[in-house]
Amino acid sequence: MNTQQLQESDRRHLWHPFTHMKQWLEDQPLVISSAQGMYLIDSDGNRYLDGISSLWCNVHGHRVRRIDQAIRDQLDRVAHTTMLGLASEPSIVLGERLMRIVPGNLKKVFYSDAGATATEIAFKLAVQYWHNIGRPEKNEFIGLAEAYHGDTTGAMSVGRTTAFHKPYFPLLFKAHFAPTPFVYRPPAGVKEGASANQVRDFCLAELERVLQQHGRRIAAITIEPVVQGAAGMIVQPDGYLREVRRLADEYEVLLICDEVATGFGRTGRMFAVEHEDVLPDLMCVAKGITGGYLPLAATFATQPIFDAFLGQPWDGKTFYHGHTYTGNPLACAAALANLDLFEEQNLVQQVRQKGDELDILLQNLLPLKHVGDIRRKGLMVGVELVEDKTSRRPFDPHRRVGAEVCRRIRSHGIILRPLADTIVLMPPLALEMEDLRRIVDAMQIEIHRLDTSSQS
Ligand SMILES: Cc1ncc(COP(=O)(O)O)c(C=O)c1O
């Protein structure tokens, strides 16, 4: 099929995720046909830098020989076998390898295939853990306001975003919400001009208030550690996560860390919890685990949580949860090759260095009239555009300024995707500084153009 036929067929048959389909149908979609390294190549042969790492998951670029070969080798053995009642070699080897890199208190891995399944599993494990140890009343959750944990019902219950999930609110289970420690846009109750530490302390006090009121019914606090991604790349003030851990212990609730976006080097540590030396009770990963190649996710648990599920088959302690493709061997093989490359290239250290250099480049955006805030941790970046910098007044959402800037950046041969009016830069971790500079330059040109167009 040529480009036009592909576009027509797409419009006729497909329904795209997280996409305003009315606008999509009026547009000419970019059809990706292949990729090479950091570039996506469209059906007409045009090349685009993958500035969002194919939705925050690609690590080493595309068509990486080592990962391709690992998948081919596994294909020569077997593509898929079930983990229900059978063990499989790649899932065992990967499990052992993962245990060497996750926080030391996590001793068991439960595989699935998406970020949302990893979090859903953590919620179920938390509730059943308390049930199994004779505390069935502990079946509610605390999440952070505007957190995002995926689009399944449990994930939406704990990570409730009005803009995404409002129609489903009647379906969702009980959760309590603590304010997000967002320094640029602090929650109601924080006095104007508050410092990062003041915002942190206010949010922790509010969290503690929720725990005092509901703690005895709470199974777990769930948090995106260090950076709250989909809410707009909100970087938590130092010390916040550590205090959340302390409060979880004090009020006898589990701590679930959702590292789906932050895990696998993204923030400059293998896992974001390492920034604060925090040991979660349950930890969820997906996205970068296979280098962005194949769907694989994992939920890690401590030994005491695992032990609470041991018993006779008739005791009702078993975790009755599974997915057909749980621990898929091809995905496990990709994950193993991905981890080899992480190690050989000292990639996490590289992310820290590139992050520091990127900070210098991003400084060039700060003077622009409509750049309100720049948030970064490792290679996780959000540039928030505002109509008025002094008052921090956002643009009218109907103008869809973030989408417009990203559309124009595409003409520079770069793919970016915003979160409302926050321009997100989440490149493959192995992207070179030269390419990062190209992306920031394009951002600067197109955001500046917004300055001039808003004057006219
Ligand atoms: C923190 C977090 N949790 C969960 C998810 C859901 O992952 P998936 O899209 O693989 O279901 C995402 C996706 O962006 C995420 O950022």
**pLDDT for residue 163:** 84
Ligand 1 pocket residue status of 149, Cβ below 6 Å: yes
Contact (Cβ atoms closer than 8 angstroms) between residue 417 and residue 424? yes
Second-level CATH architecture of 31-60+346-455:
Alpha-Beta Complex (3.90)
31-60+346-455 and 68-344 share one CATH topology?
Answer: no
Q: Which atom of ligand 1 is nearest to the CA of 150?
A: 6
Ligand 1 pocket residue status of 291, Cβ below 6 Å: no
**pLDDT for residue 456:** 44
Virtual torsion, Cα 339, 341, 347, 348, nearest 10 deg = 10
Ligand 1 pocket residue status of 222, Cβ below 6 Å: no
- pLDDT tens across 410-444, in order? 999 999 999 999 999 999 999 999 999 999 999 99
Beta strand 218-223 with 282-285: parallel, antiparallel or unpaired? Answer: unpaired
Domain positions in the chain: 31-60+346-455, 68-344
Tokens linked to 406: 């990203």
- pLDDT tens across 334-387, in order? 999 999 999 999 999 999 999 999 999 999 999 999 999 999 999 999 999 999
d(CA 95, CA 154) in angstroms, rounded, equals: 26
Cα of 263 to ligand 1 centre, how many Å? Answer: 11
- pLDDT tens across 160-207, in order? 888 889 999 999 999 999 999 999 999 999 998 999 999 999 999 999
Ligand 1 pocket residue status of 229, Cβ below 6 Å: yes
SS3 104: coil
Residue of 263, 320, 256 lying closest to 291 (CA atoms): 263
**In angstroms, how far is CA 18 from the centroid of its own chain?**
15
User: For atom 10 of ligand 1, which residue has the closest CA?
Assistant: 115
d(CA 363, CA 365) in angstroms, rounded, equals: 5
Specify the amino acid at residue 72.
R
CATH number of 68-344: 3.40.640.10
Beta strand 218-223 with 140-144: parallel, antiparallel or unpaired? Answer: parallel
Residue of 141, 170, 175, 161 lying closest to 229 (CA atoms): 161
What is the rounded average pLDDT for all residues in the chain? 97
Virtual torsion, Cα 403, 409, 411, 413, nearest 10 deg = -120
